Amino acid sequence: MKEKKSIWTILLAIIVVGILALAMFTFTVEESTNAIVYTFGAVREDGVKNEPGLYFRWPVGIQRIVTVDTKERILKVPGNEPVTTKDQNPFYLSLSISWKVSDAGLFIRRLTNDEGLTIEENAQRFLQDKVRGARQRTVNQFNLSDIFSDSKEQPKEYKKFVNTLLTQVRQETEQSDYGIVVDNLFITRIAFPQTNSKAIFDSMIKERELRSEKNITDGKNEAAQIINRANLQKQNLISQAMADSRRIKGQGDAAAAEFYKAFRENPQLANFLRRLDTLEEILKKKATVTLPSKNPLDGLIENPPIMKK
């Protein structure tokens, strides 16, 4: 029983030692990762492992393994300082670039530093410098009015601008030989300095004010025209009615004239009777009559009618 127990103990010890030995004498390179093997501080010819898998190594003290992620990374380059176009327009251009490590050994070697920065931080600092420089130089070659316009040529110009910028960044990065390759470039934000933005805001505001004033003026004009037309229509209507009423009255007078032929039989009598009616009518309204003391009633009416025989 004791022997069985000691066999198990030995087996367990072998397993544990085996696992620990495996851990000490092997390392794994992950997919999309490169590993640099430093043997006594130096990198040998076969010291860069680009393919993923399990590899043999000597323990710590003899060999040191440094891994480098070779996946695409995004670096943001904010537009903190304005760049000026060919047509003298300053603006802030924020970019992002996608980059990756193309040569892990070179990457580590060139970007290890004594300034307390990690290799990645140093790489980002280096790329930021390159992008800023390329940005300024490229923007100087283009007019803002070509990049931002509603012309048919605009898409081509925009593409040309981006491609030129990307080419510039790539060239500078490759020239510096840091084991980095820039794959793509993205424009993420464009902003104007505050003064310029304000000028654009002001022009938008003014344009809108002009538009609204025009609308109101158009409205007033249209209203006045409607009123004018209405007045014309009214006057036409009244005038027509006045003409019609004249005509109708004339018809009435004409009809009356036919009947007044009867007065021709004794015009004097007709006159006399008419004057009586008129005097009666006049005296109805608040009249004061002064009469002579002698024959007060005489002389009130002259020319009595004569009987026509």
Partner 1 sequence: MNGFNPEAADTKRAETTAGTGIFLHLVCAVVLLIMSFSAEGLLYSILWIQCGAGLLFFLASYLHLRFRRLAVTEQLDRESLERKRKSQGLGSLFSADDVPPAKRNLQHFNRFFAPALSIIYALILLLPAIELFYGLIKMGTPLKEFFFSNLPRAVGFHMGVIPLIIAFVLFILGAYSSGLCRVAHWRPIRAGAGYALSSAAVLGLVGICVLLSSKIGFYPERIIILLTVIGMSLLALEIIANVVLDHYRPRLPDIEQRPAYDSRLSGILAEPQGVFKTFAHTLDYQFGFSVSDTWFFRFIERAFAPLILVVIVSFYLLSSFVLVRPGQAAIIERFGKPRFFYTGAEKDWETFAAKHPPLSEGLHFKWPWPIEKSKIINRTRLSLITLGFGTANEEQARQKAEELRTKLAQWDKQHIEDENLYLMPLPSVMQTGSATQNQRENYVFISGSFTVEFAINNNADVYRYAYSCRDPQLMMRAIAENEITKFLAGADFWKVMANQTEQTRLTLVKNISDAVKENKLGVEVVNVGINNFHPPAGEVGAGFLKVITSQQDKKIEVYGGEIKATTIIGMAPSQAGALTTDAEIYKFRREQVSAAEADWFKNQLTAFGAAPEIYPVLKRMQMLEKALSAPRKIILPESATMIMDDSKAADPDSINSILAREINKLNK
Question: Using CB under 8 A, which residues numbered 210 to 269 contact partner 1?
Answer: 210-216, 218-220, 222-227, 229-231, 233-234, 237-238, 240-242, 244-249, 251-253, 255-263, 265-266, 269
Binding-site member from 3, 4, 114, 287 for partner 1 (CB under 8 A):
287
Rounded to a whole number of angstroms, the minimum distance from the CB of residue 137 to partner 1 is 20
Binding-site member from 6, 113, 163, 188 for partner 1 (CB under 8 A):
188
Binding-site member from 7, 10, 32, 271 for partner 1 (CB under 8 A):
32
Q: Does 208 bind partner 1 (CB under 8 A)?
A: yes
Rounded to a whole number of angstroms, the minimum distance from the CB of residue 31 to partner 1 is 5
* Residue of 100, 102, 123, 104 lying closest to 43 (CA atoms): 104
125 Cβ partners below 8 Å, 6+ apart? 117
Rounded to a whole number of angstroms, the minimum distance from the CB of residue 141 to partner 1 is 17
* # chain residues binding partner 1, by CB under 8 A: 137
Binding-site member from 33, 124, 138, 168 for partner 1 (CB under 8 A):
33
Tell which positions 5-24 bind partner 1, by CB under 8 A: 13, 16-17, 20, 23-24
With contact defined as beta carbons under 8 Å apart, do 183 and 100 qualify?
yes
Q: Based on CB atoms, which residue is closest to partner 1, 7 or 24?
A: 24
Rounded to a whole number of angstroms, the minimum distance from the CB of residue 26 to partner 1 is 9
With contact defined as beta carbons under 8 Å apart, do 128 and 78 qualify?
no
Instruction: Give how far Cα 36 sits from Cα of 55, 57, 60, 264, 279, Å.
Output: 12, 11, 14, 145, 140
Tell which positions 111-170 bind partner 1, by CB under 8 A: 144-145, 147-151, 154-155, 158, 162
DSSP-assigned states of every residue in 129-191: HHHHHHHHHHHTTS-HHHHS-SSTTHHHHHHHHHHHHHHHHHHHHHHHT-SEEEEEEEEEEEE
Instruction: Single out the segment in contact with partner 1 by CB under 8 A; choices: 39-47, 122-130, 134-142, 185-193.
Output: 185-193
Q: Based on CB atoms, which residue is closest to partner 1, 175 or 307?
A: 307
Terminal Cα distance for the chain, rounded: 184
Q: Based on CB atoms, which residue is closest to partner 1, 44 or 214?
A: 214
Rounded to a whole number of angstroms, the minimum distance from the CB of residue 246 to partner 1 is 7
DSSP-based three-state secondary structure for 205: helix
Structure tokens at 45: 């010819």
Rounded to a whole number of angstroms, the minimum distance from the CB of residue 181 to partner 1 is 14
Token look-up 């010819």 returns: 45
Q: Based on CB atoms, which residue is closest to partner 1, 175 or 284?
A: 284
Q: Based on CB atoms, which residue is closest to partner 1, 114 or 155?
A: 155
Rounded to a whole number of angstroms, the minimum distance from the CB of residue 28 to partner 1 is 4
Rounded to a whole number of angstroms, the minimum distance from the CB of residue 197 to partner 1 is 7
Instruction: Give how far Cα 205 sits from Cα of 145, 151, 198, 208, 266, Å.
Output: 21, 24, 10, 5, 91
Tell which positions 50-109 bind partner 1, by CB under 8 A: 51-54, 59-61, 65, 69, 71-74, 76, 87-89, 91, 96, 98
DSSP-assigned states of every residue in 215-281: HHHHHHHHHHHHHHHHHHHHHHHHHHHHHHHHHHHHHHHHHHHHHGGGGGG-HHHHHHHHHHHHHHH
